[in-house]
Structure 1
Amino acid sequence: MVLPQRHRLRGRGVFDYIYQRGQRFQQGLLQLRVADAATNLLREPPETLEGELRFGVVISSKVSKRAVKRNRLRRLLHEAFLRQTFRSDLPPTWLLLNLRPGAVELSDDNLLEEWSTLIQRAGLTDS
């Protein structure tokens, strides 16, 4: 499943902003950075962003040298993001997920369990 355009993080400035200002949460081999959306870094008008979440996944070649494996992990996490129900009272928020070396050895179920635990710790879900 492809992540829709409206949910994608794009641009070096956006990623730099999240790395500098985002709050960091870690669970196993996953690291999540959460930042309030900076509307001045986007091309869209701010009123179109009401309650919108944007998501990006960073998987370096240290995780796996094979792009096929990195892309499979990225697709799996994009799908998990789209299926997840987030709190309805969240302001426009950007999420950036980093995978650490060794994540490719995790089973899909373990990876998704770590993702679920991570977003709960970040306070993005009701449960």
Structure 2
Amino acid sequence: MALPKQHRLRHSREFSAVYRHGSKAVSEHLVVRVLAQNTAASPGLNEVKADPPKFGISISQKVSKRAVIRNRLKRQVRAAIRQLLPSIRCGLQIVVIVRPDSVECEYGEFLRELEQLLSKLEVIDGHS
């Protein structure tokens, strides 16, 4: 099941802005980049805007040459995002990058790592 349209990054320029100017946190299987919406460079993530948070998921062919595997990983990350969505602050653009050693990773691991990274970047309030 896909994320609702208002929660998706859809254009390459949005992804590029997050890559260029966003804050970054890294774990064993995921990299998360966060940028406050409508800003060229994020001076701080304390700014809260009315726009809902927007997400993009990036999985390169380095993870797996097989689209079936990449799509399964993308579904697992999307499910983790959906579960954490109510606790995520508004006004942010977030890109989740799946790292190449993630092929054997399960949903529970993605959820735990994503929650840790988002807490580290001060995107969610504590732990849900």
Q: Residue 122 and residue 2 in structure 1: after superposition, are their counterparts in 2 closer, same or farther (change >3 A)? A: same
Question: What is the SS of the residue equivalent to 1:63?
Answer: coil
Partner of 1:20: 20
1:38 is displaced (CA, Å) by: 2.0
1:2-17 aligned at under 5 Å gives the runs 2-17=2-17
Determine if contact 1:103/1:111 at 8 Å carries over to the other structure.
no
- Paired residue total: 117
Deviation digits for residues 69-92 of structure 1 (CA, Å, limit 9, x no counterpart):
1111111111211121325xx341
Q: Which amino acid aligns with 1:33?
A: R
Structure 2 residue 71 is matched with structure 1 residue 99 = no
> Could you tell me how far apart the structure 2 residues matched to 1:108 and 1:80 are?
7
> Could you tell me how far apart the structure 2 residues matched to 1:16 and 1:91 are?
20
> Could you tell me how far apart the structure 2 residues matched to 1:119 and 1:103 are?
18
Structure 1 unaligned residues grouped into runs of 5+:
41-48
1:27 is displaced (CA, Å) by: 1.3
Structure 2 residue 119 is matched with structure 1 residue 120 = yes
Q: What is the aligned-residue RMSD (CA, Å)?
A: 1.8
Q: Which amino acid aligns with 1:22?
A: G
1:39 is displaced (CA, Å) by: 7.4
> Could you tell me how far apart the structure 2 residues matched to 1:5 and 1:39 are?
21
> Could you tell me how far apart the structure 1 residues matched to 2:122 and 2:37 are?
16
TM-score scaled by structure 1? 0.83
Structure 2 unaligned residues grouped into runs of 5+:
41-48
Q: Which amino acid aligns with 2:104?
A: E
> Could you tell me how far apart the structure 2 residues matched to 1:86 and 1:109 are?
18
1:21 is displaced (CA, Å) by: 0.5
Determine if contact 1:52/1:91 at 8 Å carries over to the other structure.
yes
Q: Which runs of 4+ in 1 moved over 2 A?
A: none
> Could you tell me how far apart the structure 2 residues matched to 1:51 and 1:126 are?
17
> Could you tell me how far apart the structure 1 residues matched to 2:39 and 2:121 are?
22
Partner of 1:63: 63
